[in-house]
Structure formats: C-alpha cells, structure tokens
Chain A
Amino acid sequence: MNAPLPQRQRPITIAILAMGGEGGGVLADWIIDLAESNHYLAQFTSVPGVAQRTGATIYYLEIYPRAGIVDATHEPVLALMPVPGDVDIVIASELMEAGRAIQRGLITPDRTTLIASTNRVFAMTEKIAMADGRVDPDKLIEACGTAAKVMHAFDMAAIAEATGSVISAVLFGATAGAGVLPFPRQAFESAIKRGGKGIQASLAAFTAGFEATAVGATTVKTPAVNQPPPTLDGQDSDETPTNGVVHRPIPAQLLQETDKFPAGARAIARAGIERTADYQGLSYARLYLDRLAPVASADKDGRLIGETARQLALGMAYEDTIRVAELKIRPSRFARVREEVRVNDGQILEIAEFMHPRTQEIADTLPAPLGRFILRTGWVRSLMDRMTRKGRVVKTSSLRGFLLLYMVAAFKPLRPRSLRYQAENAYLEEWLATVQRTAATHYDLAIEVAAARNLVKGYGDTHERGRARFETLMALLPSLSQRPDGAAQLASLRKAANNDDTGVALDAAIAAMKESVAA
C-alpha cells in the first residue's frame, strides 16, 4: 500500500511584510474578506504587539477554495507561518522589508510574485550615522528582481500620498493588478467598500496601484532617495519659486570663469560661486575663484579641484548667526515651510525657531576687537553666559521675531570685520596651502586632505568636535605622506571620525594605523 496521494488543491500562501502603523493588518483584513466572500476559506495570523511599535512584522495568510474540499470531515489544514520556498505572494510595504523577505527565504524564483513598494523608511542604524548611513537601494531592487518570479515594484508611498490614502490600499490595488489572486477587480473593490472608513480615498489609491501594476509588469522606478537634486542653481534649489521675486544677477563672466576647470568640477565650482556671492557679495565670489586658481593649476584630473571647490565654498559660507538669520527670513524659506507642513489656503501658519546662540557665537559675530574683549573679560563673559544659558524660541512669523532676525541679518556688511571671519579665513588659507603643498608630491593624498575639511561643520559642540578631529587628522599628515597607502588611510580615518560622537572609533583607527606602520 504505497500509493502516493492524489494531486490536490493547495492553499494560496501570502506573506505581508510591513512595519507598525502601516496598515498591514488592514490589508490582511481586506484579503480575508475578499476570499471569504468569494467561496474561499481564509486563515490569517501575525505576531502583533511588535507591530504597534514600529518593528518589522510579518502577517501571514492562507486561502483555500471551498471547491477543493472533497468531504466535509476533512477541512484544509492551514499553516500559521510561512515556510521558506513555499510562498506564492509576498507583499512588502517598503524596500528593505522586501530585502528581509529575501533573507528569510520567502521569495523564490520558482513561485513567488513580489509586490513591493520601493520607498524607503530608514532603519535607525541608517539614520543615526554621523554622515550618510543609508544602504544602497539599487542593490535591494536588483536582489528583488533576481529572487522573485515576477516583480511589481514601484513607489507606492508616493501614490498613497498623492491620493491622500494609505499604502495598504495601493498594495491591495497592486495585488489586484498583478492578477495573482483568482478574483476579479470588482471583488477587491467590494472588500474595500465593506470595510467602511475612508472608502473614497482607499478606492482612489487602489485604482492608482492597480493601474501602475497593470501597465508595466516589472517596471522599477528608482526610489526618489537616490536621485540627485534636480538643479544646481544654489542652495535654495528645492524651493518653490516665489512669484515675481527678482534677485540681483551674478554676472555671466564670473560664472563663465569655471569654464577653465575640467568638466567634472565645473558644476560644483559654479555652485560655489553662487554660494559665496549669495553669502557675502560678488567680491567674495571673486575671492573664492582666486583661492581656487592655484589649486586648479595643481589639478591633474578634475578630482582635486572638484573636491576643493566644494569644501572651499562650504568653508567660506560658514554658518554664523548672521547667515542663519538671513536664511530663516527669506521669502523662499517661508514658502518652503508652507509646503512642507502642508498649509491649506484657509489655514494660518506660524513659524517659531529654536535657537541657542551662546556667548561664543555672539562674540564671533561682533567686530573682532569687541568680540575678543567679551571673551577675555571675565565678568562680561559670565554675564553673557548667564544671559544665554537658555535657548530661545523666536517667532519668525511675528513682527517682533522677524524684525529681530532682520536686524541680525543686517550685520552682514560688517561680517568681514568679525572675529569669526578672521579665524575662519586663517583656517581656510592654511588648509588650502596644505592641499597645494601636498598635491605637489602626493596627489591622491591631497584630494583626501581637501575632503577631510568636511569634518568641520555645524554649530556649537558639533563644530568644535569636528574641528578638533580635523586637526587631529592634519597632524598625522607627515606620517601619512610617508606611506604608499596614505590617501586610503586618511579616507578611512575620516570615515572613523564620522563614526560616533565620542571619538572612540577614530582613536581606535589611529591606533590601528600606527600599529600597521610599526609592523
């Protein structure tokens, strides 16, 4: 009696990978209702709790046609968790979650249809990096395409946003559009209608998801996070143009001076001119170009001048209280905030800034002698310290707050005489000299010296910490220039310096480097 079992109907297995609050449960409920209303048995389970608190969660469903039951005493036995290699449909609400499904073996080339949204919700580890900790989304998309039998992947969060709905409705639409469930489109829509709550928006999102899927089966749109900013025309490139506002033009001749740079560096240098002109006028932009000239002549392939042009512009346009005030009160900034917080016509917007200028920053902005006096005179300093111990909330949308910042911004013409300006200039000149000097003998290392300037950024403690680390690295130059791998070493030290606030990683990296010299 060794008869193999007759071929029988198998359940359709569906895994939904989502994060808490993304409506994975709602999506599952729709599918259950869809199945049960169309002569299928359905089972669904999950491990909630975690789902409520932003953790990654898998919802698992199995559906089985009633027609597949042969005798009433034997109902299908449905599983409570997905088995690797045995999942028909994987629905992922986010790109990294789709990657997680691959890792767990849920997506396999022989059977799995993957329906994934390509938007990114960054993991904590990606967000807390001191520089850029984001993973490469293209790698994830590529892996999804490789692992799945069929893939439908596009940015469903954007569609949800555009239709004023939630991502689960778009995913439901994409599932319908993918044609992997044995139910007609109307049956899906009926499930949404029976669910109550926000039916119109859900249906719109459903339709958008359905159509996007039906159009191009495996079309992939690169997620927005990876796209370069659309224009290079200055710091406010992303801002809504404010109607009828005219700026003072930067003379074309000045901008054209970048033509003499190698192609790769031109756009950056141009942005540098715009930045410095915006920061302190045309003569400042002139100074920028003059400073670049000697580096340009040492350049071999555009890399050195490109990096230097970038860092020099950022260094010259350092953020002081004047700059911050100026940026905060610009009309383009008001427009940007309106858009970002989605203010409608009937609503009124008020903006309050959280600022914490301390004695140091205030003294920095003042004419150098006065600034120095404040910092050096004990009682003045402690008086100022006491006055600035608490942060301030400035309401830029009120007249008082606006005028306060307007006044601070009005100090701009005095900036070149300020304490900070003098200090920054000295630092920059020294760094530029180092770049040039190094370039003469160690070209690659010079590029890294240029790039290392990026450690100096921000305000207050962040700025001080960055400067200290930058100097630590510069002090290592003599020994770095003796090593054949000096440039690579400096690059990895810079990375280590960006690893944590405490500097533990940098110390370790330096120790390791010294060790490797000794060896």
Chain B
Amino acid sequence: MNNMPKTRTQATGPTSRMDGKRILLEVKNLKKHFPIKSGILFQHEVAAVKAVDGVTFHIYEGETLGLVGESGCGKSTTGRTILQLYRPTAGSVKFEGVELTELKGSALRRMRRKMQMVFQDPYASLNPRMSVGRIVAEPLVVHNIGTKKEREERVAELLELVGLNPYFVRRYPHEFSGGQRQRIGLARALALNPKFIVADEPISALDVSIQAQVVNLMQELQENLGLTYLFIAHDLSMVRHLCDRVAVMYLGKLVEVAESEELYTNPLHPYTQALLSAVPVPDPVVEETRQRIILKGDVPSPINPPVGCNFNTRCPVSVDVCFSQEPELIEVLPEHWVACHRVI
C-alpha cells in the first residue's frame, strides 16, 4: 500500500512562475502514424494517417501551453502520445528528464501518477455505471493508495477542491450537468497529485457561461497546486488569457510557437495570421478594420500531406521553395518559433 498523496499548495503566484524556467516536458520530433490496413485474411499496411508528423516543443514547469489548430490537425493525438496512451511511431518525450517512450509496465505506471488528462466530452469521460466516489477514487485504487477510509477522505477533499459538494460521492454521472462533470473529471485527474495535466478541449463542449467557470477553476488550481497544463483548444480566442505560451498546429506539424501576447500581437506564420483574423476583437475601432483572411481550399488529407511546406496548398504567400523544401521550426525572435520560408 502506498501513502496518500497530499495536495501541496504552492506559495508562488503566477508571476513568479516563468522566472525559473525549468523545463518539465520536452517533446522532440514526435510522430504518430495510424496504419490503414487492408486485406481480408492477411492484413497489410497500405497507408498511414500521419496524425502527428514531427512535433518539437517543450513546456516549462508551472506554465500553460496552449495547443491550437483546426479539427483533425492532430492535437488530441499529440496529447495522448505524450501521455503514452498511444505509443509514438518515432521521436522522444522527456518528462523531468525521463524518457517516457522507453518506459513499460510498472515503471510507466509510476510515471502516470505525475501526468493526467482531462477530456473534451463530459458525457463520455465518466463511466455511467460508477458512482462519483468510485470515479474519483479510481486512481487511488489502481495505485493501491491508502485504506478505504483514507480514500474516502481524499475523495471528499478533492471534490471540495473542484467546487463540488462532497455529499455527491454516491451520485452517478447522469445526475450532473456538463460543467459539474468536468469538475468531477478534474477531481479524478488531481487524485494522484500530478504535476502535469493534458486538458483536451475541456471547455469546448460546455455552455459559454460555464466555460469561464471551468477555466477559472483550472487557473485557481494551477496557482494553488503548481500545475503545468497542456491546454488543447481549436480556436485562438479561447486560450488567449489562459495560456502563457501558444503553439499553433497544422496538419500534424507545429507552424508557430510563441508567448501568448507576442503571438496575438505579432503573428508571423500566414496560417496563424489567418486564424487570428477570424477572432473578433473587443475594441470596436480595431474590429471595424479587421480583415478576415479566408484560406482557400480545404485541409489536405493527413494520409497524403503536400510535399514541402504542408501549408502550401492554401498559403496566400507561397513561393517555389515552399513546394520543394520543408520549413524548419526556427526561433526567429526570443521565444518565438516559426516554420515558414517567408519569415526569415
């Protein structure tokens, strides 16, 4: 039996977070290809969905990195591959210096205590046949932590932490609203006292009025518990005030990574510019002059991505080199990385 994790509160506020700049998670050239198989009796691989195709970034301890991109560009796959829910096709994921891709069995299980996930669909992410108490206690049971009584106490503590009445332990998920379910999912994710949480569009399925509540709760928890988030979202407006830095993804690759304010005020990649042009601006004067950049065409298939820069089919400023050579993600300004031939 293991000891019950204590929710440690951290004195340092959000401002001091970035000072140390210790890297918590390092992702290098991560790839996840899903094979497409064919054949009736003897299946063989005929192609692959290149859901994530060479992604490199890092996350500092205590920060929130936003991962933004259109539907199907591989954000969820990135998050899941980092947590080793999918085993990567290639590349490396280092968490606190430990190479996760090489871990197996109980070593991996031990690491799982430090990283958790919050899901998009509040209805599918809780087992309908388990009571809230069992759902939140599951991580403790799996890791054989504490006695039954200690677990009950911990569950009550966790429910309180996410703003739910501990009295709810014996209720079942269907009795809760979407926002409450997301809180239950958060409580489960926090049970083992993780350092890092992948939040896969945790608010996209919620009513706008409830989105803010959940975001605020997540921020509060981050400040109090010193959490690090990878916050996945499909549009930029949602992550602006929540994220310290934002990574923009397109068709399995990162096109731009920068600190939040920098990205919003000085987007360099044409794809980021197009995404930002779709975000309404609160200032009516600026909003008046806002020009929407409409991208031509559709997102190409991740099975057969374009040669060269994979954005070249839709890019308004593409030149010859974009069709032959793949641009690398380069730090053009301090903490501002872009993958575009036209930027340098």
Instruction: State whether these chains interact.
Output: no
Question: Residues of B with Cβ closer than 8 Å to A?
Answer: none
